Structure 1
Amino acid sequence: MAIDVAPARRSDVKTLARVLGRAFHDDPVMMWMVPNGARRAKALPRIFAAMTRHHFLANDAVEIASTAGAVGAAALWDPPGRWKQTAIEELRMLPAFLLAMGSEGRRGQVVSELMKRHHPEEPHWYLAVIGSDPGVRGTGFGQALMASRLDRCDAEGAPAYLESTKESNVPYYLRFGFEVTGELTVPDGGPTMWQMWRSPR
């Protein structure tokens, strides 16, 4: 069946957050942040919903990929110059983060601060999050989302940036023209993230 890519609406937030929660359940960074699997399954949809609702939707750069009306994947982008969350956005997200993370909230802060310190200064589109439901992984949902936004990057002559939290995903992003520019290792025995940059075509 055809995969449709469309901008997400506020009414899509809960659905896309559940999809992203399932997509990132086995992600090394998320596993480090919330080690308990049952708690992580509840925490991640809350985190992704808060991020989408209070930051990403305002940028008009959230896309969902669906087939027959069922959402299979989602991507959260920031346009050039807009990747930093405002103080108001952070305040609005805080209750959901505290509920989701509890005493492990400090770990999330460590990861966030590490990424912020090493974020590129040059204006770019930032792919903060992309994920497919495990049930449809490998069937083209992620590829459809990548192509949609990267086509726009190329039309605007804008570079793109992401951090891959899985080494096994690095070759996937290389296929789209990204190149590894650095590695970030989370302190206190945390995992490694791969910084990747894509020049416009």
Structure 2
Amino acid sequence: MGVAIRTAGEGDRELVVRLLDEAFRDDPVSVWVLPGEEYRRARHAGLMAAFTDIVLADGRVDLTEDGTACALWLSVPADDHAADPAEDESPARIREAVDPGNERIELIGRLTAGVHPADRAHAYLWMIGVAPQRQGEGLGTALIAPVLDRCDREGLPAYLEASNARSRNLYERLGFELTGRPLDLPDGPRMWPMWREPQAR
């Protein structure tokens, strides 16, 4: 599948935020973090904007040329999470920016940080979003495959947290495996931390 991909810049911020908002608004984790359809409609784009800003500043956003899919990547050095996740201020800052009264915004950040592998450098796929009307066409795989190829050439592992069973199945086909136990959110859905060792070509 020939999909043109480019690196997004600051000028693409609103497009990326809108794309993530559409792709994840009904995702089980988003529904748990922002319960209630009206409330989620009002706050979800702000949460996606906070994530987008972090990755535009410290990572890379890959975007299909037609603007229908994007992938947010961070390069994580070895021992990046050596400090106690409870001392990380990022989840609290995101909560303050999006909705100070919603403890789940901070909790999801702390829980995922607590299961994030710390001992080896890796590429972290924070999120991948595909416009709802284009899901199932292979755009996600087309976005991820070049990065995984580069990881394989460089001997670099990759990591992600799958937020639903469908995405988990996609990632398993791409060589990701569960890292121990799934993450069960309190009174909420399950997430699957997944790790991919570099593969010989």
Which bracket does the TM-score occupy, shorter chain normalised?
Answer: 0.7 to 0.9
1:167 to 2:151 alignment: no
How many residue pairs get matched? 192
Q: Are residues 64 and 42 of structure 1, via their aligned partners in 2, closer, same or farther at CA, if it must alter by over 3 Å?
A: farther
Residue 112 of structure 1: aligned partner: 109
Identity of aligned residues (%): 36
My pick for the range that moved more, 7-16 or 166-175, is 166-175
Structure 1 distance, partners of 2:147, 2:14, is: 22
1:42 to 2:30 alignment: no
1:147 to 2:145 alignment: yes
CA contact 1:23–1:133 (8 Å) conserved in 2 = yes
CA contact 2:123–2:158 (8 Å) conserved in 1 = yes
Q: 1:107, CA displacement in angstroms? A: 0.6
Residue 14 of structure 2: aligned partner: 14
CA contact 1:76–1:130 (8 Å) conserved in 2 = yes
Residue 122 of structure 2: aligned partner: 124
| Cα RMSD (Å) | 2.5
Question: Given residue 119 of structure 1, which amino acid in structure 2 is its aligned partner?
Answer: H
TM alignment of 1:46-195, pairs within 5 A: 46-53=46-53, 55-67=54-66, 71-81=67-77, 90=90, 94=93, 97-98=95-96, 100-104=98-102, 106-121=103-118, 122-181=120-179, 182-187=181-186, 189-195=187-193
TM norm structure 2: 0.85
Deviations 1:80-122 (A, max 9, x none): 329769x99949x94x744633522x11111111111111012
Structure 1 distance, partners of 2:21, 2:154, is: 31
Structure 2 distance, partners of 1:186, 1:197, is: 19
Deviations 1:108-144 (A, max 9, x none): 1111111111110121111111110101111222111
Structure 1 distance, partners of 2:88, 2:57, is: 12
The runs of 5 or more residues in structure 2 that have no matched partner are none
